[in-house]
């Protein structure tokens, strides 16, 4: 779903938003936004007074009442337009996704036979066979085979990806296409619950729930509205007691200018646009709360491999220990890697060919392959003759050899530390109770990572690198990358432990992951970003999924979350600051005829009481559409501390919010006064 190139405001989206602005005038819909509902109620009252002036005794004020009605109507329509525009962009993305949801025929396995059925009849647990050129009928996991899959319908990337049974790359998505080979897939979702279904619902906004901060701000806006409503209602009898006649349209105008209509009209649009920005960045947020939490992150936990480094650790050298020869180390390293399909395992065999070493290719016939596990941190092979070959982390292999009564070579630690001190990873190679040597695996830190971590530090975010490497290698990579802390020889439970430790200190934690063993930590983290290429368990545990499967994208996600919070805060500050100028426009206009001394508050020198009220109302209405682009695009974000951000926003949006209405209302009054 490559929506990044879409125009932010296409003509079709704008036309649909204009239509929806009128549809949203339905009071049942408007009640969801209490601030604008009050404005709509006031609009209706003024309309009645305009249509039936004799009944309300306002025959001489029909022109003024009509002007107030039209301005209030456009105020509500502009607020509806902002929300409809934000929703329209999401619905446009949903329409693109819906095109991928067409009827797919599935080859369902029933016993020893295969039956062709529509994909809508598939249920969780069903097994299907997908061959070259066929569409994958539903979300699932590959349980047999290996195939190249085109996921461009989801990710927008044209390059196919390899999916295979077992490991962290077994998850497949319905609507993607197999471009080579054949795989057997176990379906993991029922109809209507697939990954694409959830994406459609989320980007359409159909299931958008207000975030905690949004709810809190909405509560504040409602409270302010109630307070000003009480003030305006009690103002009429007080003015009447003083002999000042305040007409209802004037009081409604005062109320609309006092209540925070600007942020009330834009609040929902800001939330929807924040979700939209994340989606356009090819990240699927399961809720607005996840995006918001990303903006408040204090600690970020990152895997070393694939995130901080390129992750292509390749064998670059065989190193003998004790009295063993390099040729012998290479031979046993190759035997341990014959059935190892990991990039590291394949690189061992490639290094053998490059260096011209040989090994018995039939050595693994009838042997049992021992897969790598995070708990053992070793892999290997058990040969038919009873010999056991292992390769893995030095300390893990040492413990394995010691358990069998073996002797550890005296130069093993020194040579292993030498590799680690250069930022490499040493893998020990052992057969039965003897360690023969080391494999030097090289990895490279991605360019620019130090600068990115410096930016995070300026934001006040602590970075922790998790790696299975030994402490010396971890320290070298951590120093080169510029992270704040690291956890060496990390196991899945270590990630959960550090997350809980940081959360216990009152911090919000983000992390990335793609494997089943990452699922518990992803669920525990406040922001869990799973890779789309990862397992179903990881994606279900996380509250965000990166469709591009780029682990380092968590850094951008945090920036987007902070931008969302900044945008909401900046526009709230601007909205509240706006009211100051409106006080100086409307309050003197209401009272200066009866109390001439009030004219001293007419600092803007507005032409007349009626033009002052209308000018303030017009400004109050037009500021909403003027701020829509900012609400949609978001306030420009630069990495800096919270104190610096606060000072910057108060200066720009606080002071700017005070000055802009004085200038705007005065300019509008110069035009309105000619008519009034």
The vertex-509 CA angle with 505 and 512, nearest 5°, equals 150
Query: Would you say 620 and 256 are in contact if contact means Cβ atoms under 8 Å apart?
Result: yes
Query: Would you say 637 and 569 are in contact if contact means Cβ atoms under 8 Å apart?
Result: no
Query: Would you say 466 and 302 are in contact if contact means Cβ atoms under 8 Å apart?
Result: yes
Q: Is 169 exposed, middle or buried (0-12, 13-18, 19+ CB in 10 A)?
A: buried
Query: Would you say 168 and 516 are in contact if contact means Cβ atoms under 8 Å apart?
Result: yes
The vertex-316 CA angle with 310 and 321, nearest 5°, equals 130
Annotated binding site for ATP: 340, 344, 372-379, 391
Q: Which residue has the tokens 């025929």?
A: 105
- How is residue 559 written in tokens? 């920036």
- Catalytic-labelled residue, pool 197, 303, 550, 579: 303
Query: Would you say 304 and 474 are in contact if contact means Cβ atoms under 8 Å apart?
Result: yes
Partners of 107 in beta bridges: 116, 129
Q: How far apart are alpha carbons 127 and 106 in whole angstroms?
A: 10
Q: Which of 614, 601, 603, 620 is nearest to 676 (CA)?
A: 614
Q: Is 214 exposed, middle or buried (0-12, 13-18, 19+ CB in 10 A)?
A: buried
- Strand 527-531 vs strand 378-382: parallel, antiparallel, or unpaired? unpaired
The vertex-251 CA angle with 234 and 568, nearest 5°, equals 95
Distances (CA, A) of 55 to 42, 48, 71: 17, 9, 23
The vertex-560 CA angle with 556 and 565, nearest 5°, equals 145
Contacts of 421 (CB under 8 A, 6+ apart): 472, 476
Annotated binding site for Mg(2+): 514, 518
Query: Would you say 439 and 326 are in contact if contact means Cβ atoms under 8 Å apart?
Result: no
H-run or E-run covering 301: strand 299-303
First and final CA of the chain: distance in angstroms?
Answer: 54
Residue 301: φ, ψ to 5°: -105, 125
User: DSSP characters for 420-449?
Assistant: HHTT-EEEEEEETTEEEEEEEEE--BPTTH
Contacts of 55 (CB under 8 A, 6+ apart): none
Instruction: Examine the residue annotation and report whether 494 is marked as an active-site residue of this protein.
Output: no
Q: How far apart are alpha carbons 576 and 568 in whole angstroms?
A: 12
Q: Which residue has the tokens 């704040």?
A: 484
- The residues annotated as belonging to the active site are 303
């Amino acid at each position: 779903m490559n929506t990044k190139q879409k125009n932010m405001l296409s003509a079709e989206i704008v036309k649909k938003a204009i239509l929806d602005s009128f549809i949203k005038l339905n009071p049942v819909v408007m009640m969801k936004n209490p601030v604008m509902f009050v404005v709509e109620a006031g609009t209706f009252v003024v309309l009645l007074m305009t249509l039936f002036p004799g009944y309300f005794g306002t025959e001489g004020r029909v022109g003024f009442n009509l002007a107030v009605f039209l301005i209030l109507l456009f105020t509500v329509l502009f607020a509806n337009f902002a929300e409809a525009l934000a929703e329209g962009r999401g619905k446009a993305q949903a329409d693109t996704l819906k095109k991928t949801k067409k009827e797919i025929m599935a080859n369902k396995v029933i016993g020893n036979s295969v039956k062709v059925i529509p994909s809508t009849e598939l249920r969780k647990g069903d097994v299907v066979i997908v061959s070259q050129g066929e569409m994958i009928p539903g979300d699932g996991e590959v349980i047999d085979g290996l195939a190249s899959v085109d996921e461009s319908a989801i990710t927008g990337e044209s390059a196919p990806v390899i999916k295979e049974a077992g490991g962290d790359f077994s998850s497949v998505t319905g609507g993607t296409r197999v471009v080579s080979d054949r795989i057997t897939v176990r379906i993991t979702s029922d109809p209507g619950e697939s990954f694409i279904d959830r994406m459609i619902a989320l980007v359409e906004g159909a299931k958008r729930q207000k975030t905690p901060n949004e709810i809190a701000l909405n509560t504040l806006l409602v409270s302010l509205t109630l307070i000003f409503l009480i003030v305006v209602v009690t103002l009429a009898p007080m003015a009447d007691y003083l002999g000042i006649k305040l007409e209802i349209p004037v009081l409604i105008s005062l109320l609309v200018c006092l209540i925070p209509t600007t942020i009330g009209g834009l609040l929902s649009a800001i939330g929807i646009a924040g979700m939209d920005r994340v989606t356009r960045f090819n990240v699927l947020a399961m809720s607005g709360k996840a995006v918001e939490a990303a903006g408040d992150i204090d600690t970020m936990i990152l895997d070393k491999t694939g995130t901080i480094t390129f992750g292509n650790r390749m064998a670059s050298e065989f190193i003998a220990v004790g009295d063993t020869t390099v040729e012998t180390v290479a031979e046993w390293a190759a035997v341990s890697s014959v059935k190892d399909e990991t990039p590291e395992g394949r690189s061992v065999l490639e290094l053998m060919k490059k260096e011209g070493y040989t090994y018995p290719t039939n050595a693994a016939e009838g042997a049992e392959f021992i897969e790598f596990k995070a708990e053992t941190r070793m892999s290997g092979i058990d040969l038919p003759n009873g010999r056991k070959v292992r390769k893995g982390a030095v300390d893990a292999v040492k413990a394995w050899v010691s358990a069998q009564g073996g002797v550890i070579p005296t130069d093993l630690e020194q040579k292993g530390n030498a590799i680690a001190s250069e930022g490499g990873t040493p893998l020990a190679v052992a057969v039965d109770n003897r360690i023969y040597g080391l494999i030097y695996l090289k990895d490279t830190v991605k360019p620019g990572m130090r600068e990115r971590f410096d930016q995070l530090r300026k934001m006040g975010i602590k970075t922790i690198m998790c790696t299975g490497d030994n402490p010396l290698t971890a320290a070298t990579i951590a120093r080169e990358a510029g992270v704040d802390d690291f956890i060496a020889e990390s196991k899945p439970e270590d990630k959960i432990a550090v997350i809980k430790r940081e959360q216990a200190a009152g911090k919000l934690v983000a992390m990335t992951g793609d494997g089943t063993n990452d699922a518990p930590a992803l669920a525990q983290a406040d922001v869990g970003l799973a890779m789309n290429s990862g397992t179903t368990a990881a994606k279900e545990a996380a509250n965000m999924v990166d469709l591009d499967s780029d682990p380092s994208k968590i850094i951008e996600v945090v920036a987007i979350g902070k931008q969302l919070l900044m945008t909401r805060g900046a526009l709230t500050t601007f909205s509240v600051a706006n009211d100051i100028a409106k006080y100086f426009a409307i309050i003197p206009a209401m009272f200066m005829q009866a109390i001439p001394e009030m004219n001293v508050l007419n600092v803007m020198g507005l032409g007349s009481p009626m033009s002052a009220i209308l000018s303030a109302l017009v400004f109050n209405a037009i500021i909403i559409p003027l701020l829509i682009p900012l609400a949609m695009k978001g306030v420009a974000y630069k990495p800096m501390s919270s104190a610096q951000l606060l000072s910057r926003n108060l200066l720009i949006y606080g002071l700017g919010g005070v000055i802009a209405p004085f200038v705007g209302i005065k300019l509008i009054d110069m035009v309105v006064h000619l008519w009034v």
